[in-house]
A and B are shown apart, each in its own frame.
Chain A
Amino acid sequence: MKKLIVTAVIACSTLFLFGCANSQDAKNGEVVVYNWGEYIDPDVLTQFEEETGIKVIYDEFETNEIMYPKIEAGASDYDVVCPSDYMIQKMIDNDLLEEINFDAIPNAVNNIGEQYYEQSKSFDPENKYSVPYCWGTVGILYNKTMVNSEIDSWADLWDPQYSDSILMQDSVRDSFMVALKLNGYSMNTTDPAQLEVAKKSLIEQKPIIQAYVIDQVRDKMIGNEAALGVIYSGEAIFTQRENPDLEYVIPKEGTNVWIDSWVIPKGSKNKENAEKFIDFMCREDIALKNFEYITYSTPNEAAQALIEDQEIKNSPIAFPVLSDYENLETFEYLGTDSDELYNQLWKEVKSE
């Protein structure tokens, strides 16, 4: 009997504690932001708090795949999230996003280039749910002093003379993108035969790979550890600043043009604050600050016009003219079955 009472008391007090925590969360004047790691200038958050009086609770994720289950479970009350293209499509498909009131975010309407909204239609067909934040391409970063041929193709990553000097991305879709493009297929294919070919290419490539890495491509290329690496264009500018021998190229077979956009999850408790936050991020001076800090291309044309360094302003890495390249695509969400097929094939590559 005593046991029962103690248990009951403890259970009640825990409930009471949780209850308190919940009621505090619902207080107005907050916005809970969930963004990629190292994807914002921290000063911008302070500035937002000072100018609007809205408290920012900031949280970070590493991959879209880690972010998604948290939003799906609704465990945390995020108001603004910054997923990538295909993941936004998946969230729209599963009814996890709130429509954004574009009347409340004039900066997003005026400053973000029309072409980026156009590009966004591949995952957000009516431009109702997302506001582009950063974009870029995926390409090959190479060390000019360590290669002796012209690097312009994904096939260079299969060149045995660079054995043990090649870095690939340690993520399913990015690695398969490279192999699919190499073989002339769409990177959004769900055709098992094409994927099988891509898998064979990746297995064939594995012995000459130094490592599969994600963020470490940056450090390893700066430290002259490898000759070639697959990298996101935003990182390329940063690495070039640190090591002038590095050069970035968009391979001739085409590549991935990606967009990370702000979205508001369904059930957001501070939707108006969320829109204020998105609008603030689209203000030209703020977008410029973020661009200078994270070096990922901004779709904010007003901010681009403000860049003082002419070399960066006209840089083909930061702001490539997309019409100059062929076979550019944006990732699409492929559905659970195809996701599983990709993961299965990737495991077969990795265990080889």
Chain B
Amino acid sequence: MNKKWLSFPYILWAAGFIIIPLAMVFYYGFTDRDGIFTMENILAILSPEHRKALFLALVLSFFSTLICILLAYPLSMILAKMGNARNSFLVLIFILPMWMNFLLRTLAWQTLLEKNGVINSILHFLHLPGIAIINTPAAIILGMVYNFLPFMVLPIYNALLKIDPNVINAARDLGANGLQTFIKVTLPLSMPGVISGITMVFVPALTTFVISTLLGGSKILLIGNVIEQEFTQSGNWNLGSGLSVVLMIFIVISIIFSTLSDKDGEGTAI
């Protein structure tokens, strides 16, 4: 009871840097330039260019989440099956890029993918046809997958590690073959990891504006770019906040979805 005061720094932190800013976003989102209540900034999402940007962001982050799952699941299974010494080294390799700055890594992809970039120079040297995906949606998906893949691998890996080998053995004992064991036992038991991985990849992918600016050549406008530009270029904080509130709704939906699928609270975020 008397140790409660220990949480005060956190309460102060939460109030100052989470609650108050959030309240301000809501305040700006629901008022116009003169501070009068309006729904206009929220309804602005319905205008064709905002709708398009939101739709595009949803589609791109959906595909990058899907690709992340397809890449991360087999990898996590391999990692989980390996011996301890080797797998901790491999996990380290996976986390290693995250030690570098996110912006730097994305800029590196730009240099790699450019017309006269590293990849094309090598392909050219080998007399192979070059690739031209820079400044296309494909490059943005690539950037998202590259940047957010560790957020998918780690929760799935953790969930798989937690599965008691005896459960698998029991399934095999009772006559299930490899595929059946996987579908009926391993997969359901690892779902909490997959679900938290989905949230951790989908949410940042949905809101990103850096990846689409750097790898999309600013030609592809995602909802994150619209919001960023309202703040930095147009100076229309009200519209920017209104659109962020709308975006928050989508994030809340994805979080509700993950909480519902993870009733036991076994979600294993990093």
A residues adjacent to B (C-beta < 8 A): 2, 6-7, 10, 63, 65-66, 68-69, 164, 170-172, 206, 209-213, 220, 223-225, 336, 339-340, 343, 347-348, 350-351
User: Is chain A's interface secondary structure helix, strand, loop, or mixed overall?
Assistant: helix
Contact A6 B5, beta carbon cutoff 8 Å = yes
From the candidates A10, A63, A171, A213, name the one contacting B217 in the complex (CB within 8 A). Answer: A213
A302, B5: Cα distance in complex, Å: 66
Contact B236 A350, beta carbon cutoff 8 Å = no
Chain B residues within 8 Å of A6, by CB: 5, 8
Contact B221 A351, beta carbon cutoff 8 Å = yes
Contact B234 A340, beta carbon cutoff 8 Å = yes
8 contacts between A and B (CB under 8 A): A65-B235, A171-B233, A223-B114, A223-B116, A224-B116, A225-B115, A350-B49, A351-B48
A157, B234: Cα distance in complex, Å: 26
Contact A339 B234, beta carbon cutoff 8 Å = yes
Tell whether B171 is near chain A: CB-to-CB under 8 Å. no
Chain B residues within 8 Å of A351, by CB: 48-50, 52-53, 221
Contact A66 B232, beta carbon cutoff 8 Å = yes
A336, B217: Cα distance in complex, Å: 28
Contact A350 B232, beta carbon cutoff 8 Å = no
From the candidates B53, B135, B226, B229, name the one contacting A210 in the complex (CB within 8 A). Answer: B135
Closest to A173 in B: B233
Tell whether B219 is near chain A: CB-to-CB under 8 Å. yes
Task: Give B111-131 interface residues, CB cut-off 8 Å to A.
Answer: 114-116
From the candidates B53, B116, B219, B229, name the one contacting A209 in the complex (CB within 8 A). Answer: B219
How many chain B residues touch A (CB < 8 A): the figure is: 26
Instruction: Report the minimum CB–CB distance from B177 to chain A (whole Å).
Output: 51
Query: What are the 10 closest A-B residue pairs judged by CB atoms, nearest first?
Result: A211-B217, A351-B49, A212-B218, A343-B234, A350-B221, A351-B221, A170-B218, A347-B49, A351-B52, A65-B233
Tell whether B12 is near chain A: CB-to-CB under 8 Å. yes
**Among B8, B50, B235: residue with most chain A CB under 10 A:** B235
Contact A211 B135, beta carbon cutoff 8 Å = yes
A27, B48: Cα distance in complex, Å: 53
Chain A residues within 8 Å of B225, by CB: 350
Chain A residues within 8 Å of B50, by CB: 347, 351
| Per-position 1/0 for B216-240, Cβ under 8 A of A | 0111010001100100111110000
Chain A residues within 8 Å of B233, by CB: 63, 65, 171-172, 343
A223, B121: Cα distance in complex, Å: 13
Closest to B49 in A: A351
A343, B135: Cα distance in complex, Å: 22
- Given pairs A10-B8, A343-B234, A351-B52, 13 additional interface contacts (CB within 8 A): A2-B5, A65-B235, A164-B115, A211-B218, A212-B218, A224-B116, A347-B221, A347-B226, A347-B229, A348-B48, A348-B49, A350-B221, A351-B48
A63, B231: Cα distance in complex, Å: 12
A172, B235: Cα distance in complex, Å: 12
A172, B218: Cα distance in complex, Å: 13
Contact B236 A343, beta carbon cutoff 8 Å = yes
Q: A223-B116, A224-B116, A351-B49 are in contact. Are A211 and B219 (CB under 8 A)?
A: yes
Chain B residues within 8 Å of A65, by CB: 232-235
Task: Give B13-57 interface residues, CB cut-off 8 Å to A.
Answer: 33, 48-50, 52-53
